A and B are shown apart, each in its own frame.
Chain A
Amino acid sequence: EAGVAQSPRYKIIEKRQSVAFWCNPISGHATLYWYQQILGQGPKLLIQFQNNGVVDDSQLPKDRFSAERLKGVDSTLKIQPAKLEDSAVYLCASSSFKVSYNEQFFGPGTRLTVL
């Protein structure tokens, strides 16, 4: 079974530029999560989707971050414009209530550096 796929793996941009990250969850997983992990910290949830609907986006900086999950499968996370403090690893995870108590499976992450 293929795992969670993310691209790109690395991205370097200048502040005020825009950037987008892509995530393809495990097939059949209805729930998709985006986490932000700043160096030296644990991941923090940005947004959670159930199919193509938003369940929790309480910690998403909505003035600059946006996310969508069209057709309930792939998802895109966008930052526009980027700030220096957005430098982090962006992790995508997926889960299904049918699998192991809704255990979350994580992708390899996208490392963003904002200069």
Chain B
Amino acid sequence: KQEVTQIPAALSVPEGENLVLNCSFTDSAIYNLQWFRQDPGKGLTSLLLIQSSQREQTSGRLNASLDKSSGRSTLYIAASQPGDSATYLCAVRRQGAQKLVFGQGTRLTINP
């Protein structure tokens, strides 16, 4: 059974800092991994999707990496801004399946 863990559960940093969010998964037989953002009271916004054959994906100030063999992914946020404050969730999709298995999320606060 796939289990996804995100550490830390909460993170608070001053504006302008670069930061890394971590995601680990127990079963390396994944099809892809997605990072989502969730604002309070809102749905999920997809940030980056990495296929199992890829090592990283970039979008603006965001960079996500994937190391399938070690069961880890990181989301790097450069030059953080107060608007980046939200909960960040990672989710994995197993090979041959369509459902996503989510981590618990990291609640990020960027202080002005």
- B89 contacts the other chain (Cβ, under 8 Å)? yes
The number of residue pairs between A and B whose CB atoms lie closer than 8 Å in the complex comes to: 56
CA A31 to CA B93, docked complex, whole Å:
15
A42 touching B34 by the CB < 8 A rule?
A: no
Q: How far is the CB of B65 from chain A (nearest CB, A)?
A: 18
Q: Most B CB atoms within 10 A — which of A33, A48, A95, A101?
A: A101
Interface size on A, residues (CB 8 A): 27
The B contact surface, by secondary structure, is: strand
- A107 contacts the other chain (Cβ, under 8 Å)? yes
Q: How far is the CB of A88 from chain B (nearest CB, A)?
A: 13
Residues of chain A at the chain B interface (Cβ within 8 Å):
4, 6, 31, 33, 40-45, 48, 55-56, 91, 93, 95, 100-109, 111
